[in-house]
Amino acid sequence: MKKIQSLALISIGALITSCSAADMVPTAEAKSKTVNHFAENGFGNAVAIVQHPAGIHRDGITYVSYQGALEDPYIAAYNHATKEWTGPFKAGVSAMGKDPKRKKKIDNHGKPSMIIDNEGYIHLFFGGHGGVPEIHGDNPLGNHHYGENKHVVSKKPYDVSEWEELKTIPPFGTYNQVIKMENGDIYLFYRHGAHRSDWVYHVSTDNGRSFGDPVSFLKHKRRDDVKGVDSWYPWVGRGQGDEIIVSFDYHLCWDGNARERGHTANREDLYYMTFNTKTKEWHNVEDERLPMPLTREVADAKAKVTDTGELWTFNGAAALDPEGNPHILMNAGKDVGQITGGPKQVKYIRWNGEAWTGGNTVSPVGARADLEVKSLTDVSLYMSYKDKNGEAVLIRRDSTDAGANFDNNKQLFRHGKGSFAISALIENAHPDAKMIITPRTSGTALKNMYLIGDNGPVQRKASDMK
């Protein structure tokens, strides 16, 4: 597989200063009969790209979920025709966020992911970070940490007000990512425990009322050359037809505690593969079959997109163009300390049918982004970052040359000092409702939740917030 060809870096200064005043969103919410947010109880980092989808648009309604007070899952719905909101409602009770003696007050690994089955029932998966051995017993595919992975479903189709819990999945999962295929089968992907665990998937063929046994696809394994364990971070998405696509990076989980070079944030390299849900076979980008579950040695030899060298990374979202070629976002930057990774920038990479190309930087430092591939040449990035004044900004950047250059920088929303936590793009998104965002601030204070589209925030009656 060919190495990535380096492209010129984009001028970050031009990026930060290019948003025009005409794109600014009014900030005088207190003087208006509407507000820019739809909820006021976002908790911790209430959404993230990795737990997805957090929102789905179906038949003129956008459904949005997030981590609310005490790390419980909440859901709301917006009717685009009537411009009315319903909810938010608490959809379940997380096992996390309730222990006042816990040193780390907010775990943030149990944010909800959503799917709507073919009968219209809404499903949320949430609350897990490895499970607890004293409560849940042995984890056959990894280790433990905290919480309990749970599954709830709406009591009525397309109704966010009432929920029931289903006992369909093991308690050990975290980072839930869920996909519904054309035939209605539901695939639930997650890490089966804490860092030293396999990544697995389950399949449901009955609209989520039951799931099969977990099937490992990324293997955790002790290294012989160093004191640590191979681990992974994938992003899973819908491909074409019966295909699921996976971009992922490698994480070496060192032995010992953090200050003894134990749990550090270093993640390396970028990989890509596909899963044919009909044949149950996995392949690399060149259609070579991969043995499962995938080990680091095979991934390095058969599935690597790029070697990040001394840079630390965290893989981002992936999407296909109409010819089935993957486009991938990757966060990469230099380590600024042994324990935590340094600030990263978003890089853009794509397969042109013969080789991986790109690797150019498309963001300022500390950005987060998701991508929408509209055609062979047209791509949009929805990106948050902290501007030169320290304020949180969400913009859309557009490319007409398959990601080689991103020129247009349309500001969609601006907040005060700080940064945003952002969801992945909403599934089947309405133009007015593309992404869920919330300010990233320290402490346990509740935060406002925003639904942002190409025309800015979806507003709500101020009276609804009382």
Task: Please state, in angstroms and rounded to a whole number, the distance separating the CA atoms of residues 307 and 356.
Answer: 12
pLDDT at position 256: 73
Domain count for the chain, please give it: 1
Q: Which of 52, 109, 136, 192 is catalytic?
A: 109
6 occurs within a structural domain: no
Structure tokens at 452: 């942002």
CA distance 198 to 217: 7
- The answer to whether residue 187 sits within a structural domain is yes
CA dist 193 and 199 (Å) reads 9
Q: Give residue 343's pLDDT.
A: 72
CB atoms closer than 10 angstroms to residue 311: 22
Q: Cβ contacts of residue 349 below 8 Å, gap of 6+?
A: 4, 270, 305, 306, 327, 328, 329, 330, 356, 357, 358, 359
The CB-based long-range contact list for 69-72 (8 Å cut-off, 24+ gap) reads: 69/41, 69/43, 69/446, 70/43, 70/94, 70/97, 70/98, 71/43, 71/44, 71/96, 71/97, 71/98, 71/106, 71/107, 71/108, 71/110, 71/127, 72/97
Domain-embedded: residue 259: yes
Tokens representing residue 9 in the block: 């870096």
Dihedral sign, Cα of residue 449, residue 86, residue 94, residue 234: negative
Query: Tokens 């009322």 appear where?
Result: 209
Query: How far is the C-alpha of 462 from the C-alpha of 259, rounded, in Å?
Result: 48
pLDDT, averaged per 10 consecutive residues of the chain (466 residues), comes to 37 40 45 88 96 98 98 98 98 94 88 98 98 97 97 98 98 98 98 97 98 98 91 97 97 73 76 98 98 98 95 90 97 64 85 95 93 97 94 97 92 93 98 96 84 97 89
What is the pLDDT at residue 310? Answer: 86
Residue 347 maps to a domain: yes
- Taking the C-alpha atoms of residue 404 and residue 359, their distance in angstroms, rounded to an integer, is 9
Tokens of 58: 């179906």
Question: Under 8 Å CB-to-CB from 289, ≥6 apart: which residues?
Answer: 281, 282, 283
What's the burial of 464, exposed, middle or buried (CB within 10 Å: 0-12/13-18/19+)? middle
Residue 7 counted as domain residue:
no
Position 9 scores a pLDDT of: 35
Residue owning tokens 């930060």: 16
Q: Return the pLDDT at 262.
A: 54
How many CB atoms lie under 10 A from the CB of residue 132?
Answer: 16
> Is 109 one of the catalytic residues?
yes
CATH number of the domain enclosing 109: 2.120.10
Q: What is the pLDDT of residue 344?
A: 87
Q: How far is CA 423 from CA 9, 270, 427, in A?
A: 26, 21, 11
* Catalytic residue selected from 63, 66, 78, 175: 175
| DSSP for residue 340 | S
At residue 302, the 3 state secondary structure works out as helix
pLDDT, residue 103, reads: 79
Strand partners, 312: 333
Q: Is residue 34 part of a domain?
A: yes
Boundaries of domain holding 231: 12-465
Residue 258's φ and ψ, nearest 5 degrees, are -60, -45
Half-sphere exposure of 240 (CA within 13 A, CB side): 7
Instruction: Report how far residue 87's alpha carbon sits from residue 76's, in angstroms, rounded to the nearest whole number.
Output: 5
Give domain status of residue 168, yes or no.
yes
Q: What distance in Å separates the CA atoms of residue 130 and residue 149, rounded to the nearest whole number? A: 8
Strand, coil or helix: 335:
coil
Evaluate whether residue 3 is within a structural domain. no
Determine the pLDDT at residue 10: 35
Instruction: Identify residue 238 by its one-letter amino acid code.
Output: R
